[in-house]
Structure 1
Amino acid sequence: MISIHFKLLMTIQLRVYVPPHPLIKHWLGVARDVSTPSPLFKSAMTELGRWLTYETIRDWLPTEEMMIQSPLAACPATMINPEVPLVVVPILRAGLALLEGAQTLLPLASIYHLGLVRNEETLEPSCYLNKLPNQFQPNTHVLITDPMLATGGSMMLAMAELVKRGVDPALTRIISVVAAPPALQKLSSSYPSLTIYTAMIDEIVNDQGYIVPGLGDAGDRSFGT
């Protein structure tokens, strides 16, 4: 597990993890390839959603200790605590492609959709769909899916909408396929207690706001548009 810390304070810092799992590396290569057809690209997004979620929830899911009865004897067991609220927020459209894989591991999580679009000239984001509740329950664990963290504008807007509804950034995790320094630096400045899992960190964001080499437009490639 490659961990990159963007330090803001002595005790609080954004944590960015790049898991070295071979399946994550493989599906990232498939997704990057310009010759990958749309159906296979969407499959790659599903698999990246699955394996990045697997790594993300490894030490994050709330558990409880209990005694159970096996066919032969009583024994201790560690179980997922169903009373702690668990939420997945896909950033539309492209976040839906990661959601499918995430749901295979979190079938009981509530799903709240947030639709954001970026002005291609100003690169400023705006919200066209907000299905978030007015207030989240205390201790809600939130997983955000968004394939690209480029300039950071969309994720900053998403975080602002979540925080004003009671979400604790320290209980929030983001999964992306490719991230870039501008987005990570913005998130680190405003939400240093966040944790991010990504398949790769690319260094360049071009004048059009795309990560290079990146994936291109993950939404268009996922849905064949």
Structure 2
Amino acid sequence: MAQTPASMLAAGKFIVDSRYATTEQEESILQDITARFPNVVLMKQTSQLRAMMTIIRDKKTPKEEFVFYADRLIRLLIEEALNELPFEQKEVTTPLDAPYQGVSFSSKICGVSIVRAGESMESGLRAVCRGCRIGKILIQRDEETAEPKLIYEKLPVDIRERWVMLLDPMCATAGSVCKAIDVLLKLGVKEERIIFVNILAAPQGIERVFKLYPNVRMVAAAIDVCLNSKYYIVPGIGDFGDRYFGTM
């Protein structure tokens, strides 16, 4: 019996080259991911969002334009991720001395960027969360084991009391983000208080994250269909950090 893209995804088999993926296959994979992983929030694919994604995906886009539209997209993504935080009822009085029943954040938050690409998302978080504390985690691949290795971390001392916005624009194999989540859990952060904020993800990465950490939440701007033989997301963006910081 022929396998559908969704059944191939569930079995750990993935399309290797997006050139061979039809629109129907792409839609099938996205539907399967959102159905199996309810903690994955995919931003509404509006024309504005797709236009910005088109610009930053284009290899001809110059650095200045790439950064401008990436920053716009990141801010929208952060705003979407803030919807995953807990709120509580709050009453205020308007300038007309009338009561208004509103809401406010009910918990402290902080950002944690996975160095280096994740640092590109820090200004977007600061722009919408004034005074938000931001920590950093540096993870590199161990040359002997090929496994992600923690090199450096500097995090708020009270991080276990906070909701954490974990920042990394790309989720390919998810090795780095899984290591970062492990670091946070060992410091006492509750799994359900980690919100992984991500511009672009591959099915393989999502599968790995939620197999290990089913209670984490993830907010993504887009999900592509696969990885290539070099473990880059395709169609993809390329190396986001290199393009953003101009180190290509």
Shorter-chain TM band: 0.7 to 0.9
Q: Residues 19 and 98 (structure 1 numbering): CA distance in 2 closer, same or farther, change over 3 Å?
A: farther
Alignment of 1:174-193 (within 5 A): 174-193=196-215
Q: Does 1:69 align with 2:79?
A: no
Provide the secondary structure at the position in 1 that maps to 2:221. Answer: strand
**How many percent identity over aligned positions?**
30
Higher relative contact order (CA 8 A, sep 6+): 1
Q: How far 1:88 moved relative to its partner? A: 0.8
Q: Distance in 1 between matches of 2:39 and 2:141?
A: 24
Equivalent of residue 194 in structure 1, options 216, 220, 229: 216
Q: Distance in 1 between matches of 2:182 and 2:140?
A: 15
Alignment of 1:2-151 (within 5 A): 4-7=34-37, 14-66=39-91, 68-81=92-105, 84-118=107-141, 124-133=147-156, 136-138=159-161, 140-151=162-173
Equivalent of residue 155 in structure 1, options 177, 183, 204: 177
Equivalent of residue 164 in structure 1, options 180, 186, 189: 186
Provide the secondary structure at the position in 2 that maps to 1:209. Answer: coil
Provide the secondary structure at the position in 2 that maps to 1:71. Answer: coil
Structure 1: segments with no counterpart, 5+ residues: 8-12
Q: Residues 58 and 21 (structure 1 numbering): CA distance in 2 closer, same or farther, change over 3 Å?
A: farther
Q: Distance in 2 between matches of 1:201 and 1:123?
A: 25
Tell which structure's C-alpha radius of gyration is larger. 2
Are 1:48 and 1:101, in contact at CA under 8 Å, matched by a contact in 2? no
Q: Distance in 2 between matches of 1:185 and 1:223?
A: 29
2:8: which partner in 1?
Answer: none
What is the TM-score with the length of structure 1 in the denominator?
Answer: 0.85
Q: Residues 16 and 72 (structure 1 numbering): CA distance in 2 closer, same or farther, change over 3 Å?
A: closer
Residue type of the alignment partner of 2:227: V
Q: Residues 135 and 51 (structure 1 numbering): CA distance in 2 closer, same or farther, change over 3 Å?
A: same
Q: Distance in 1 between matches of 2:223 and 2:175?
A: 17
Equivalent of residue 209 in structure 1, options 213, 231, 247: 231
Q: Residues 118 and 39 (structure 1 numbering): CA distance in 2 closer, same or farther, change over 3 Å?
A: farther
Q: Distance in 2 between matches of 1:120 and 1:211?
A: 22
Residue type of the alignment partner of 1:6: R
Residue type of the alignment partner of 2:121: L
Residue type of the alignment partner of 1:55: E
Which protein has the bigger helix share? 2
Are 1:149 and 1:176, in contact at CA under 8 Å, matched by a contact in 2? yes
Q: Residues 44 and 131 (structure 1 numbering): CA distance in 2 closer, same or farther, change over 3 Å?
A: same
Structure 2: segments with no counterpart, 5+ residues: 1-30
- In the alignment of these two chains, the number of paired residues is 216
Q: Distance in 2 between matches of 1:218 and 1:40?
A: 13
Which protein has the bigger strand share? 1
Provide the secondary structure at the position in 1 that maps to 2:34. Answer: strand
What is the TM-score with the length of structure 2 in the denominator?
Answer: 0.78
Instruction: Tell me whether 192-201 or 54-63 shows the greater mean CA deviation.
Output: 54-63
Q: CA RMSD in A?
A: 2.3
Q: How far 1:122 moved relative to its partner? A: 6.8
Provide the secondary structure at the position in 2 that maps to 1:162. Answer: helix
